[in-house]
Amino acid sequence: MNHHARASVSHGRTGATRSRPADPADATLDRLLERAGIRLNGPRPWDLQIHHRQTARRILAQGSLGLGESYMDGWWDAEQLDTLIFRLLSARLDQAVRTPALAWAGLRARLFNLQNEARAWMVGQQHYDLGNDFFAAMLDPSMAYSCGYWADADTLADAQFAKLDLVCRKLGLQPGMRLLDIGCGWGSLMRHAAEHYGVECLGLTVSREQAAYGAERCAQLPVRFELADYRSFNPDGRQRFDRIASIGMFEHVGSKNYPAFFAVAERSLREDGLMLLHTIGKTHHRDTTDPWIDRYIFRNGQLPLLGQISDAADPHFVIEDVHNFGADYDRTLRAWHRNFQQHWPRFAERHGDRFRRMWRYYLLACAGAFRARTLQLWQLVLAPGGLAGGYRRPMV
């Protein structure tokens, strides 16, 4: 415990009675946290341990942004950070602290196209280009950076294999087909489809690091990477693919661009083709992009509502199937966090301790959010005009 904490922790003792903090901000935050079964400086692993006397004021004034930034600055800790966030969100305390930053985030999203072509490359540069070695240490050997499927899996590698194979089976891939992967990452799906289903693949990405690393990994396969924003792809519709997949990319598209996204997919897909969309989503209109996530992790991201996807897809596709396995993201994120912790000494000098705390907060806060079911993970199967006779989801 550092010297900032010594004046602040006396109110965290156990027992039948507990005195209120002397500072009014501490007392206010303490009362809020009690609604979620959390104490300031309490004895349980999810209790918030204060190290700086201004922590409560910062959190109350800035909400989610203040909570995350003060953690990055070492002002507080929680042994089970994921459980802390799970409890906060389950008690809807995020709705109890409404800040100017949150209001501004919602206003910006309504007024501006934050995901236009000029801004589309920012997330690649800020996040995905952190270093292929960094992500290789955190992810499984397939380099899949999206939710695994844990129904019958015991390890991260098994869960990611199951997810990739589930996508291929939902799309009904057959040897000789051509697959377009919009937002292909390091090529985990394309590599799996080429190796196990004999499919020829083209992937689009806005990350130079991903394209270079993926091309090297897939050098002996019928897999090609293209560094391109989806909007500029196949403008005349001359390229047609048997299948299209988009895994964990739609979160970067933004609601103002959903019609353009589905128009690109329609002009690139054969009339008898199928598309699979795999995306994180939100369940309430009032929920806006988290200001901390927007500033430090995924610039200009926006989570869709299921209704928004349906409305935007409607002129182009029939939605044949919707599958929600968002609870599996909790386990996926905790597996990534274990890998991150294990390999952190390799990256400590490059990134520093503030980055370590930022990345820990990102992974475990998101795990808590999926556990609280305030975030969802959907896989949708879509078909132009609908499939004659209907679609049958394979065994999952």
Active site residues: 366
Written as one string, the DSSP assignment of 306-368 is HHHHHHHHTTT-EEEEEEE-THHHHHHHHHHHHHHHHHGGGTHHHHHHHHHHHHHHHHHHHHH
* H, E, C per residue of 27-74: HHHHHHHHCCCCCECCCCCCCEEECCCCHHHHHHHHHHHHHHHHHHCC
- CA dist 156 and 53 (Å) reads 40
Element (H, E) at 272: strand 269-282
- CA dist 247 and 147 (Å) reads 9
**Helix residue spans in 205-326 (DSSP H):** 208-217, 258-268, 291-296, 306-313
CA 360 to each of CA 51, 78, 343, 353: distance values in angstroms, whole numbers, following the listed order? 18, 11, 13, 10
Element (H, E) at 108: helix 100-111
